[in-house]
Amino acid sequence: VKIRSLDGPSMQSEREPVAGAVVTMSCSIMLLLYFFYDGFVYVLIATFGLGAGTGLYSCLAPLARRLPPQLSPRPPAGPRACPRLPLLLLAGLCAAVTAAWVAHHNEDRWAWLLQDALGVAYCLFVLRRVRLPTLKNCASFLLALLAFDVFFVFITPLLTRTGESIMVEVASGPVDSSSHERLPMVLRVPRLSFSALTLCDQPFSILGFGDIVVPGFLVAYCHRFDVQIQSRQVYFVACTAAYAVGLLVTFVAMVLMQMGQPALLYLVSSTLLTSLAVAACRQELTLFWTGQARAKTPAQPVAGLHDAPSFGSEQKQEETADVHTAGAPAPALTPEPVSPCSCGFCFTLPVSILRAWVESRWHLSEVPRASSRHLNARGKQDTACVRT
């Protein structure tokens, strides 16, 4: 996993208005689709085809690069070197799959499988290219789009003449549309309903790409934070499980209320609150909020202690190791202390200091006693020599 350092003040100031710009662009696209659906839907179909083909290639390219040398001969290197043959074949395959979807995207029986596969590749491509550096950016971005989703699902029915939600009408396609095209930026899954009506028009449950990508930014941030603090994927697993629970609650609410639901209302709430709760339990809330975590590295011994003489005994080696630990430089200061459950350094350092202090006092008390005994023995020998 490649982690980019984006903690500088210039980077932070550039990303502050991102949430407002994204919400403004989303509102503009939604209104254009509502008033000019028949013309603007083709722009989105072309955009989705280009992005989905690129995303599918980016997902499959690492597999093509790992092919054995016998199956992927390399062209001679030079100023006009061309890509390897498997990558060229992969690019042609992705273009063919995208063209097949564009030609048959209105087919209800099997085209939804192709659209879902391309949609997943497109979402992965976006999550791979766009990264939010801090939880502050993630929270502001998610909450702004949460407000956008709730407004266009629950508030717009009060403002339209038909009483329909703008979000639901745009996602499912207007009834009076002359083009009969459907919005491609959704995942479509057929409903398991057995009736005579499904023979003519099979109903689908849809999930917008925004309901996948927007919480996915937080899931990706949790994964990068786990890598930075060298944990066992605690934040990533908790956030992913919270997303699954939020998605289940969304479908349950849709079945009970018999109307479209703003999925971000449940997904953002579950993922964001769960991530904050995990950070609070691990006493890493400030680090998690600012994204300025540092990997835990073992303490380095003092350079001057490497030249100390060795006495050969195991007890002396243990004492020297304890003195090295006690004299090691303190780690970098962080806004929050490291959780005791994740690192034993908080307990070993005071014990090592206390042990080194007690042993040093014991050695200092033993030295005068040994010196006095040695002087007494030397005095007795001198007295015996004088007498002789």
Q: Where does residue 8 rank: exposed (0-12), middle (13-18), buried (19+ CB within 10 A)?
A: exposed
* Residue ranges covered by each domain of the chain: 9-66+85-192+201-290, 313-387
The residues, ordered by sequence, that sit 6+ positions from 30 with a Cβ below 8 Å of its Cβ are 152, 166, 167, 170
- pLDDT tens per residue, range 259-317: 888 999 999 999 999 999 999 999 999 999 988 765 444 444 444 434 444 444 444 44
Neighbours of 228 (CB within 10 A): 17
| Local confidence band at 182 (pLDDT 50, 70, 90 cut-offs) | confident
CA 228 to chain CA mean position, Å: 11
Helix axes of 210-229 and 111-129: crossing angle, nearest 10 degrees: 40
Question: Residue 161: which pLDDT band, with cuts at 50, 70 and 90?
Answer: confident
How do residues 73-118 score in pLDDT, each as one tens digit?
555 555 454 557 888 899 999 999 999 999 988 887 888 899 999 9
Separation in Å, CA 193 to CA 196, 200, 203, 247 = 10, 13, 8, 20
382 counts as catalytic: no
Angle at 214 between CA 213 and CA 220, to 5 degrees: 75
The residue among 261, 215, 220, 206 whose CA lies nearest residue 242 is 215
Q: Specify which of 72-86, 130-144, 193-207, 319-333 reaches the highest per-range mean pLDDT.
A: 130-144
Task: Report the pLDDT value the prediction gives residue 189, as an integer from 0 to 100.
Answer: 82
Q: From the candidates 7, 108, 116, 149, which is the catalytic residue?
A: 149
DSSP, collapsed to helix, strand or coil, labels residue 188 as strand
Residue 347 to residue 333: CA distance in whole angstroms: 17
pLDDT category, 19, cuts 50, 70, 90?
confident
Which among 201, 211, 226, 322 is annotated as catalytic? 211
Is 307 annotated in the active site? no
